[in-house]
Structure 1
Amino acid sequence: MEHNQVMPHMGHDLYLSYVGAETDIIFNKGIDLPGFASYLLLETDKGKEILRGYYSSLIELARKHGVGAILDSATWVANRDRGALISQSSQSLERLNIEAIDIIAQMRKQYADVSIILCAQVGPRGDGYAPKDLMTAQEAESYHNEQIETLSRTDADFICGSTICYPEEAIGIVRSAGRYGKAIAISFTVETDGCLPTGISLKDAILAVDEATDAAAIYFMVNCAHPDHFSRVLVDEPWLQRVKGLVANASRCSHAELDAAETLDDGDPVELGVQLADLRRKFPHISILGGCCGTDMRHMKNIAEQAQRAVS
């Protein structure tokens, strides 16, 4: 099966990605985000400035280290079911999805000297930690068509289905992106044993998605898990060449423990950077590193510094 090894517009061999803003906003800034929906920040000028601050910090970090930056939109839970839980209509979701891409497109224009890629985030239909009512691939495609069609009308370079828990939903997302002519990446999350929340191995999930979609995804990633949880399953086999990114949690806690946590576990920023850099050193084809839940710019700084040393 043929597939794109890297995105054709990637100008660097390392890109930084930061998708940990929600936990930082909630726990460190004391701002409520109902439904974990950072796109709600787009409703106020103050909220937009908060988002711009995260993007600016990431871009400045990338510039300092001579690497690229992937700007991930605040649209991870901006889908119909997750939006309905916080009283968002289909009309408001359409508007906010578009505005979320507009803000990162503006950031790219502002920092024209940095290699920046715009990623439209799509999340799972249900709970990213404890999936229920699993869909078939056909059902997942039908469900995600609504958000992906909206995102396909924006300046996003590609779409990433993140914190996906089972292959059928990933297959539906890949097929939906193909329907609307957008490049698509898939990022699975894993539990402490390195398997997806449904119990399937990362290897088998990736192979299943590729088999069902003729390897249409541009690459796969792992996000929302600590390196201790996934490093053991990253083995030097052909399927691993499809994994291009690792966007890690700061905490070693399980997803169930994180769900129940009332305080933020920000782990060890230096150690996290070392662990991700070690994996990049071991697997040089991995070109995207970053932070997910519990991380902030301290973690991103250490990730950038350690990753740079890994290839110097």
Structure 2
Amino acid sequence: MLTDGGLETDLLYNRGIDLPCFAAIVLLRTPEGRAALGEYYRPYLDLARDLGTGFILESPTWRASPDWAAPLGLDQTELDQLNVAAIDLMRGLCAEYAADLPQIVISGCIGPRGDGYVPGKLMGAAEATDYHARQVRVLASAGADMVSALTMTNVAEATGIVHAARQVDVPVVISFTVETDGRLPTGDTLMDAVTAVDAATGGHAAYFMVNCAHPDHFAAVLDQGAAWTQRLRGIRANASRCSHEELNAMTELDAGDPTELGQLYRALLATQPQLTVLGGCCGTDLRHVTAVARACLNHA
């Protein structure tokens, strides 16, 4: 299964589209914004069609949970409506390509309550459940096949999202981000984070992923054949080797080397063949996902 690249960085740096608070959800307020999102997603669907893979349509709702309404100049009802509009857009794209791809999955994307790189004030799992329940419920009711929590920085918030998804009986995926040492921003190892969320939720998450980190930052911590790594099914890596702190300070995009990134994914698959969901994150675009797909399909 392929998915897209770094939606927000592509729109900002490659297409010159302003995203207040790094929130692509605002584009759904206008016909022009909705058209721009369609133009972003279609080439990825074309790639999946040409290569004969399935595709996960990740909605542009990463920064669309309740706390972000006020900074975006919205009330909660308007934000809910934009979350629904995002899934409607995904449904339209799905209908457009359904006959051409073996499988398309619509995923409602959920981001962290706070900054994507810094844990900030940590919630307990119960508070995280209460906080994220509204967006999870809206996305599921709108027709998302599953929800995916991307760029998770800590165990408690990830656990809460799994509980929130369970309340409305929608499959859920948890994707952690890691620093250059392969650990979560809280200092937890990736192994401990995955096993802790599974222990707290009875293994309810459909699978886990890593996103918003370069393969060099986490490849060494993936133990070949270890039980916990079998729960890791997807990678959405950054194009850049820079740390989160360095990326935050950048004024220009570091797009890295798409071909090299594809080879790094291929090397990961050589030891982690359970990885079947492949896409990109910050700094990546269609070039990177194409290189990844071609390298990994050739490997398969």
Pair in the same fold by TM > 0.5: yes
Amino acid at match of 2:55: A
Amino acid at match of 2:50: K
Q: Does 1:160 align with 2:162?
A: no
Mapped to 1, the partners of 2:179 and 2:292 lie a distance apart of 22
Which residue in the other structure is 2:36 paired with?
50
| Local SS of the residue matching 2:291 | helix
Q: Does 1:100 align with 2:86?
A: yes
Which residue in the other structure is 1:298 paired with?
287
CA contact (8 A) 2:151 2:176 kept: yes
Amino acid at match of 1:37: A
TM-score, normalized by length of structure 2? 0.97
> Over residues 240-262 of structure 1, what are the superposed CA-to-partner deviations in whole Å (9 max), with x where a residue is unaligned?
00000000000001001111100
> Over residues 130-163 of structure 1, what are the superposed CA-to-partner deviations in whole Å (9 max), with x where a residue is unaligned?
1111000001001001111111202111001110
1:167-246 paired onto structure 2 within 5 Å: 167-236=155-224, 237-246=226-235
Mapped to 2, the partners of 1:56 and 1:25 lie a distance apart of 14
Which residue in the other structure is 1:272 paired with?
261
Amino acid at match of 2:248: D
| Local SS of the residue matching 1:152 | helix
1:281, distance to aligned residue in structure 2 (A) = 2.4
| Local SS of the residue matching 1:221 | strand
> Over residues 56-111 of structure 1, what are the superposed CA-to-partner deviations in whole Å (9 max), with x where a residue is unaligned?
11111011111111110010010111232222210111000000001011111111
Mapped to 2, the partners of 1:83 and 1:215 lie a distance apart of 32
Amino acid at match of 2:240: S
Mapped to 1, the partners of 2:4 and 2:214 lie a distance apart of 14
Q: Does 1:258 align with 2:239?
A: no
Tell me which of 109, 133, 137 is aligned to 1:121: 109
Which residue in the other structure is 2:278 paired with?
289
Tell me which of 46, 70, 74 is aligned to 1:88: 74
Mapped to 2, the partners of 1:19 and 1:170 lie a distance apart of 22
TM-score, normalized by length of structure 1? 0.94
CA contact (8 A) 2:5 2:288 kept: no
Q: Matched residue pairs, number?
A: 297
The CA RMSD measured in Å over matched residues stands at 0.9
Gaps of 5+ in 2: none
CA contact (8 A) 2:67 2:113 kept: yes
Mapped to 2, the partners of 1:211 and 1:25 lie a distance apart of 38
CA contact (8 A) 1:278 1:310 kept: no
Q: Does 1:36 align with 2:52?
A: no
Which residue in the other structure is 2:8 paired with?
22
| Paired-residue identity, % | 47
1:19, distance to aligned residue in structure 2 (A) = 4.1
Larger deviation: 211-220 or 105-114? 105-114
